[in-house]
Amino acid sequence: MSDQPQKLWGGRFTGATDPLMDLYNASLPYDKKMYAADLEGTRVYTMGLEKLGLLTSTELTEIHRGLTQINDEWISGKFEEKPGDEDIHTANERRLGEIIGRHIAGKVHTGRSRNDQVAVDMRLFVRGELTKVSNHLRTLIQTLIKRAEKEIDYLMPGYTHLQRAQPIRWSHWLSMYATYFTEDYKRLQQVIDRLNVCPLGAGAIAGHPYGIDREFIAKELGFKGVIGNSMAAVSDRDFVMETLFWISLFMNHISRFSEDLIIYSSGEFHFVSLADAYSTGSSLMPQKKNPDSLELLRGKSGRAFGSLAGFMMSMKGIPSTYDKDMQEDKEPLFDAMTTVEHSILIATGVISTLKANNRDMEAALSMDMLATDLADYLVLKGVPFRETHYISGECVRAAEESHLSGIDQLSLDQFQKIDKRFGPDVFQTFDFERSVEKRDATGGTAKIAVLKQLHQLQQYLS
């Protein structure tokens, strides 16, 4: 046997590969971030081989010593990549041979294919990364909750169709996104749970030829079980698509969150002021303070959507089981996972440091936003809501035609000309705090209802 490193698949081939094909085929530049997962998979797999008697205890000790050294080299930045290192698997195995000798290193792949090797590496890596993302997301939600509790007394306009609708609490808006993100958090736990099954020991397609204990390997690697069909084990990338879908859905929420804050931070609203750390200036206009952090969050959502759509198109037409097309799973997935992790950290920074301008929020409240409360006033006097809705609309129109600043400026006589059932107590309706506090049913914007929402979210996270 030649002392030169051999391609894992090279025995069948005698001709040289087109150098461009080598470059086109290589994945090490981006899959080397899975080095720890690859080393851990090999560590446990060789334990399974030792149980079968295919490795001696001395050989296993040497292999594990070499794997530890390789891991240290990656961590310290001293790992030397070489031509012929097609991917992280070949790079690690080549280096293992240099450390402990190719004779012993050549045994680590016994009964294992790169098909099940890459599948387990991907699951280990994604599980670890999504666990990190989960922790960051938890922090974002808790930041929203703490802010909402602290600023529970701030009132602001609530919007539908971007038109002022009804008065709400600023903390109700914060609770809305804490609720969205908590649902994302729940879905993420489900994604992690579903991907947490082990493909290792499935071989290339047909299963393991030496009867390796797959349940033992799964347990040692922290998986809840094994994938029961060897063909499915090596070809399943549903967990990649599901991860990309989760990222896309979360980024949709973070984009809407960003859009709201971009609007609220504009001079026309001035409900919030972003910290300098999350803003930039203009190269021409000295007065500008641009919400670049939020615009990037909004923009990167499109990047995440593209990763999902692109990989789904790569997968949709390939035959079973493993095909090289599946190598296209890594770049979109890795990019999307980096994007979502950074996005959560930026969003947490933005929401924890911005200033809520409660005076401007309250100044934006207008009496026309209490038109529904005026209708509710008559409902409590026994008038059907469909009738009160019409009557309230007549009051709004009367105020506009009289060039009044709001419906609260109508006199009692004007109210009674519209409907005799209006009494002197009608003017108690025109109180924003009172309007907000009336909505105390579960999910409402009254203080007690908002605090209940926040408590329930915090209770779930705890």
Q: Please say whether the beta carbons of 261 and 278 come within 8 A.
A: no
Q: Please say whether the beta carbons of 251 and 340 come within 8 A.
A: yes
Tokens of residue 373, six digits: 């409360």
Catalytic site includes residue 76:
no
Chain-centroid distance, C-alpha 459: 21
Give bridge partners of residue 39 from the DSSP assignment.
none
| Dihedral of alpha carbons 118, 121, 123, 126, sign | negative
Catalytic site includes residue 136:
no
Find the catalytic residue in 266, 282, 320, 405: 282
Closest-CA residue to 374 (of 409, 338, 334, 333): 409
d(C-alpha 43, C-alpha 108), whole Å: 9
d(C-alpha 74, C-alpha 88), whole Å: 11
Task: Give residues with Cβ within 8 angstroms of 418, minimum separation 6.
Answer: 391, 394, 395, 398
Q: Which residue has the tokens 């409360």?
A: 373
Burial zone of 6 (CB within 10 Å; 0-12 exposed, 13-18 middle, 19+ buried): middle
Give bridge partners of residue 290 from the DSSP assignment.
280
Closest-CA residue to 262 (of 274, 251, 275, 253): 274
| Cα distances (angstroms) measured from residue 41 to each of 61, 70, 173, 329, 460 | 15, 14, 45, 19, 34
Instruction: Give the DSSP letter string of 374-401.
Output: HHHHHHTTT--HHHHHHHHHHHHHHHHH
Kind of pairing, strands 272-273 and 355-356? Answer: antiparallel
Find the catalytic residue in 76, 161, 283, 462: 161
d(C-alpha 152, C-alpha 171), whole Å: 5
Which residues are known to be catalytic? Answer: 161, 282
